[in-house]
Amino acid sequence: MATEEISFLNESDSYCVCFIDMIGSTKVISRIATVPEKIRNYYSIFLNSMSAIIKKHGGIIIKNIGDSLIFYFPKTSDSTNRSAFWNVIDCCVTMMAAYRFVNLEMSKMGLPPVNYRISADYGKAIIAKSASSLTYDLFGPVLDVCSKINSKAPPNGMVIGNDLYQVFKSFFLTSSTSSSADDYNFKMIEEHSIVGSKQSYPLYSVTSKYTNYNTSTTTTIQHTDSENMLKLQKEKQEKERDQLSQQQENKSKNNILLIDDEPDIVFTYKSILNEEGYNVHAFTDPRQALRHFSQLDPLYYKLILLDVRMPNANGFQLYYKFKAMNPNVKIIFVTALDVMGEELASMLPGFSAEHDLIKKPLNKDQYINKIKSVLSI
């Protein structure tokens, strides 16, 4: 008897499903179609960056459809699991915050900027597994709804459906609501008519209350000489980076932000840096540090020292959010894990273990020399 090619792992559970789609990628590709390597880089920079964020937040990618990704979060099968649902929103907000970072990488390689939309919803779905490839797939109406509402998201922003919003609303109405609720804004944008449904379906935009990434505009793609346009665009971006860098140099001076969840380590690191004349603000709570950073001039800090493994928000998640507010701020990861350098290099384009990583435990002289070396670049 032949083995079934596809096996279904559940009868039907509800999950949070998300869809991220590049805007106007076909037009962009038509301009660089004569250079296959540029096409590969254009897609790989974006898709690899987003895939790393998804996986770091516990999401599973179901499909890669050229210029889009469909993914879901297994732990959301339990509708009372607050942390799982806030993790979904944090994942999507991190992807939004990655906008500047991703496009800086595009600029470095002479590629046009990328714009994208994110949508998410909650509903019934069936998980299937392929016996030959060991890959997973997802079937159910929630996938269809999620893809259809994607066009309603603002450029480089996100929209969620009413079914997902109702889950978050149930969290708001309880006295023990997670503090994560304080981090985000939910706003109804319209009632969308889903094909095949007689009733309209409310949609909501989601934004961070303290990460001021730009989601209001999309970069216009002109049908002119592509090489000239890319050259002018690159020159403009380089000029803006140089101006921002000079402003940062003038304003940040010796200001350092230190984030580590262990109070003893924070005290030791801060004391060492203070002795060297640096002005250090230290936090053991990563969310408080992010709020603090967002309330200041984004150029105030020249360097951020960031622990990798922390509760509430790890260093990887914070990286994109800090970069969204100031793409030129220098960030050094601090970790005791030997393999972390390889992991970060696989997730962050341009990451260098030599310059961007400090390993615990630290020798005082090595620590100071690393800080001075990075700040001198």
Whether 351 has a pLDDT exceeding 90, the answer reads no
User: In terms of Cα–Cα distance, which of 372, 314, 324, 322 is closest to 344?
Assistant: 314
- Spatial separation of the C-alpha atoms in residues 141 and 321, rounded to whole Å: 32
User: In terms of Cα–Cα distance, which of 143, 150, 161 is closest to 72?
Assistant: 143
Name the CA radius of gyration of the chain, rounded. 22
Q: What is the mean pLDDT of the chain?
A: 80
- % pLDDT > 70, the chain: 75
* Fold of domain 6-223: Alpha-Beta Plaits (3.30.70)
- Spatial separation of the C-alpha atoms in residues 298 and 80, rounded to whole Å: 37
**Which token pair is 371?**
């800080």
Return the bridge partners of 60, or none: 72
Task: Report pLDDT for 178.
Answer: 47
What are the boundaries of each domain within the chain? Answer: 6-223, 247-376
Confidence (pTM)? 0.77
In this predicted model, which residue has the larger pLDDT, 117 or 9?
Answer: 117
pLDDT tens digit string along 179-226? 566 778 899 998 877 655 557 889 999 988 766 554 444 443 333 344
Q: How confident is the model at residue 1 (pLDDT cuts 50, 70, 90)?
A: very low
**Which token pair is 25?**
């990628």
pLDDT tens digit string along 125-170? 888 776 665 666 788 889 889 989 999 999 999 999 999 999 998 8
Q: How confident is the model at residue 280 (pLDDT cuts 50, 70, 90)?
A: very high
- Spatial separation of the C-alpha atoms in residues 176 and 365, rounded to whole Å: 46
Q: Which whole number is the average pLDDT over 312-331?
A: 82
Query: Are domains 6-223 and 247-376 of this chain identical in fold?
Result: no
- Spatial separation of the C-alpha atoms in residues 32 and 127, rounded to whole Å: 38
> In terms of DSSP H, where are the helices of the chain?
25-31, 36-56, 82-97, 99-108, 141-148, 162-172, 226-252, 263-275, 286-294, 315-325, 340-347, 353-356, 364-376
Q: According to CATH, what is the number of the domain 247-376?
A: 3.40.50.2300
In this predicted model, which residue has the larger pLDDT, 177 or 366?
Answer: 366
Separation in Å, CA 72 to CA 60, 183, 342? 5, 22, 26
In this predicted model, which residue has the larger pLDDT, 118 or 112?
Answer: 118
Half-sphere exposure of 340 (CA within 13 A, CB side): 20
